């Protein structure tokens, strides 16, 4: 996809909104956009992975783009729209808030460096197009899709869980777990 920023004068960008920011992906990479497809959560996966979803019989992993992009994710809500993108020959879904238009952008409006006020992971952004009304952040889909749950990660989490469990069950039988929570609330 080297061509998109060097040779052609205009590029078609498929846009979407996430937390009042306008993002875009080269239209050729977008497979399709489906509003609200059921997501099945995957235990022990990295927190940026929202789960798996069924796209006409194909199991596709959905990535919670909000968690992926923002350095601090204190927002609990999950975005509803599956934005299916082909990355390295594999379909991946990014969860986004809403879908914008497909727009033509001029090469000369592109700028490589983005100032995201340290909110958004800059290494996941290709660059920015300065549009008349807003800024269009171009997502580096290859990197954004690079969220791998390693077996080490799973092991650490499950160890943590077990230690926690052991600590709790040592003090009192687990039957009271629920009660404890009530008390805390």
Partner 1 sequence: MAYTDDEKWMKEAVEVLISETAEALVQVDFELIELERNPKDQSGINTIFRAFHTTKGNADSLGFNQLKLLTHAAENLLDEVRAGKLVIDSSIIDTLLNVVDAVRSSLAMIEEKGHDTDQDWSSIITTLNHLIPEKSAANIREEKKPQPRKKAVPAAKSPKKKTIKQKKEGKKAASLDVVAKDENKKSEVQLGEKTLRVNASILDNLMDQVGELVLARNEILQLVSQLNHDGFTQASHHLNSATAELQEGLMRARLQAVGKSWVTFPRLVRDLSAASGKKIRIFMEGEETELDRTLIEAIHDPLVHLIRNASDHGIELPGERKKMGKPQEGKIFIRAYHDAGQVSIEVADDGAGINPDKVRKAALDLDLIDEEQLSQVSENEIIMWPGFSTAGRVSEISGRGVGLDIVQTNIERLGGSIDVHSEIGKGTTFRLKVPLTLAILSALIVISGQNRYAIPRTTLLELVRLEGEEARSGIEYIQGTPVHRLRGKLLRLIFLSDILNTQIGDQSHAPDVNELESVNIVVSQVSGRQIGFVVDEIIDNLDIVVKPLSRHIKAIPFLAGATVLGDGKSALILDVNGLAQNAVGFQPSEEHKQSSIVSLSKQVQMESLDKRNLFIFEGPNKVTMAVPLDLVSRIEKIPYSNIVRTGVRNMVQYRDVIMPLLFLSSFFSDPCNPWRCPPENELPISEEGTLPVLVYAHKGCLIGVVINDILDVVETDITIQGAKDHDGVLGTAVVRNEIVEFLDLKGIVAGLDLSTDQTALTG
Q: Using the minimum distance from each CB to partner 1, give the nearer residue, 109 or 146.
A: 146
Please give the C-alpha separations between residue 110 and each of 20, 45, 93, 182, in angstroms, as whole numbers: 20, 35, 26, 54
Least Cα distance to 47 among 134, 149, 124 occurs for: 149
Residues 132-171, interacting with partner 1 (CB under 8 A): 145, 147-151, 153-155, 157-159, 161, 165-166, 169-170
44: left (phi over 0), alpha (psi -120 to 50) or beta: left
183 is a site residue for partner 1 (CB under 8 A): no
Residues 87-106, interacting with partner 1 (CB under 8 A): 90, 92
Q: Applying CB under 8 A, which part among 9-17, 39-47, 101-109, 115-123 lies near partner 1? A: 39-47
Q: Using the minimum distance from each CB to partner 1, give the nearer residue, 116 or 149.
A: 149
Distance CA 20, CA 66 (A): 11
Q: Using the minimum distance from each CB to partner 1, give the nearer residue, 37 or 121.
A: 37
CB 125 within 8 A of CB 138: yes
Min dist. Cβ of residue 171 to partner 1 (A) = 11
Min dist. Cβ of residue 80 to partner 1 (A) = 16
Least Cα distance to 125 among 117, 135, 134, 114 occurs for: 114
Residue 139: Cβ within 10 Å count: 26
Eight-class DSSP state of 77: P
Q: Applying CB under 8 A, which part among 17-25, 50-58, 114-122, 135-143 lies near partner 1? A: 50-58
Distance CA 182, CA 16 (A): 41
34 is a site residue for partner 1 (CB under 8 A): no
Q: Which residues bind partner 1 (CB under 8 A)?
A: 38, 40-46, 49, 52-54, 57-61, 63, 90, 92, 145, 147-151, 153-155, 157-159, 161, 165-166, 169-170, 173-175, 177-178, 181
């Amino acid at each position: 996809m080297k061509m998109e920023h060097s040779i052609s004068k205009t590029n078609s960008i498929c846009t979407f909104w996430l937390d009042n920011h306008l993002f875009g992906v080269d239209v050729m990479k977008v497979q399709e956009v489906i509003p609200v497809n059921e997501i099945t959560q995957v235990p022990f996966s990295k927190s940026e992975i929202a789960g798996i979803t069924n796209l006409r019989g194909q199991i596709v992993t959905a990535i919670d783009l909000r968690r992926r992009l923002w350095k601090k994710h204190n927002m609990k809500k999950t975005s509803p729209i599956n934005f299916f993108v082909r990355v390295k020959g594999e379909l991946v879904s990014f969860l986004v808030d809403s879908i914008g238009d497909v727009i033509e952008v001029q090469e000369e409006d592109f700028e490589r460096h983005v100032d995201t006020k340290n909110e958004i992971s800059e290494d996941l952004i290709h660059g920015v197009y300065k549009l008349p009304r807003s800024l269009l952040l171009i997502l580096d889909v290859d990197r954004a899709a690079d969220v791998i749950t390693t077996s080490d990660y799973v092991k650490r989490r499950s160890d943590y869980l077990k230690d926690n469990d052991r600590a709790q069950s040592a003090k009192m039988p687990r039957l009271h777990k629920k009660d404890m929570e009530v008390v805390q609330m």
